[in-house]
Structure 1
Amino acid sequence: MKADVSVIIPAAGLSLRMGTDVRKPFIMIGEKPVFFYTLEKFYKLKRVKEIIFVVNKKDLSTVIEKWSNELKAYKVTKIIAGGKRRQDSVYKGLSQLDSDTRIVLIHDAVRPLVKSREIEEVIEKTDQKGAAILASPMKLTVKKVNSNLEIIKTVPR
């Protein structure tokens, strides 16, 4: 099957609700930032030909300096600055797609728990129906814990 899927990975948000100095995409899990775990789910898929990584403009030079070589191995063909809102960042990503792209997937950089099989099913459904979405039930309550894993507050949603 021909590689005809482009992926836009928005990572330009401010992560204001997190209450930390580090934006969510750059939180380390083990020895790498969380966004690498998300990219792993997409770059291994045969039909994915390119990934557009959209980051906050404040992070652009750091991402390019620290990770551009490694990101190439993950099929990241472009690293670009996002916009003020998520839809602006997605629009900027759309403007960078290869002209022969048939299917576009959009997936947040900080959602690494998606399964490769789920992504493949979205691609299959898009082939059949023209469009598809993957969704899961929202968690109604989010709790913040301290280093001892004790609940210290409920995060407003």
Structure 2
Amino acid sequence: MTSAVIVAAGSSRRMGFDKLAVELAGVPVLARSIRAFQDCEAIDRIIVVTADDRVAKVSRRCEDSGISKLHAVVAGAAERHLSVHCGLVSAPTETRLVAVHDGARPLVTPASITRCIEAALVHRAASL
């Protein structure tokens, strides 16, 4: 099983506004990132890590958007590496490979995700 941990727990303090909610061609940045993993055949489950006060909202939006691969939406931590850890420990126990993605990077495609996963299966790690 391959799971994706999409990290979206940042405060966007430097930006001065919630960059994950900004619309790109009418679709919020975070929703675009999640959709790419939903549409990728190589991904079995999705874990979204977000701020504690956004967990319910993100869960609802995923459900309303038909994100069928959603395994969990969990609260992150004060630092990115700790938020990634929150996602990793929430992954299904059957998970053998994890793709970690920054939710504020909406231009990822299912094809690029698949290529990265294929490379990770061969080389034990890969980066996009």
Cα offset for 1:106?
Answer: 0.4
d(CA) in 2 for partners of 1:61, 1:109: 17
* C-alpha contact 2:4 2:99 (8 A) present in aligned 1: yes
- What is the Cα-based RMSD across aligned positions, in Å? 1.7
Letter in 1 for 2:7: P
d(CA) in 2 for partners of 1:49, 1:120: 12
Unpaired segments of 5 or more residues in structure 1?
135-157
Q: State the partner residue of 1:120.
A: 114
* C-alpha contact 2:71 2:91 (8 A) present in aligned 1: no
Q: Deviations over 1:115-149 (max 9, x none)?
A: 32221111111111111111xxxxxxxxxxxxxxx
d(CA) in 2 for partners of 1:52, 1:130: 21
Instruction: State the SS of the aligned residue for 2:78.
Output: coil
Q: State the partner residue of 1:155.
A: none
Relative contact order higher in (CA < 8 Å, ≥ 6 apart): 2
Residues 8-157 of structure 1 aligned to structure 2 (within 5 Å): 8-20=5-17, 23-64=18-59, 66-70=60-64, 73-134=67-128
**Count of matched residue pairs:** 128
Cα gap change, 1:25 to 1:74, in 2 (>3 Å): farther
Larger radius of gyration: 1
Letter in 2 for 1:47: A
Unpaired segments of 5 or more residues in structure 2?
none
Cα offset for 1:28?
Answer: 2.6
d(CA) in 1 for partners of 2:96, 2:79: 25
* TM-score, normalised via structure 1 length: 0.74
Q: Which moved more, 1:28-37 or 1:105-114?
A: 28-37
* TM-score, normalised via structure 2 length: 0.89
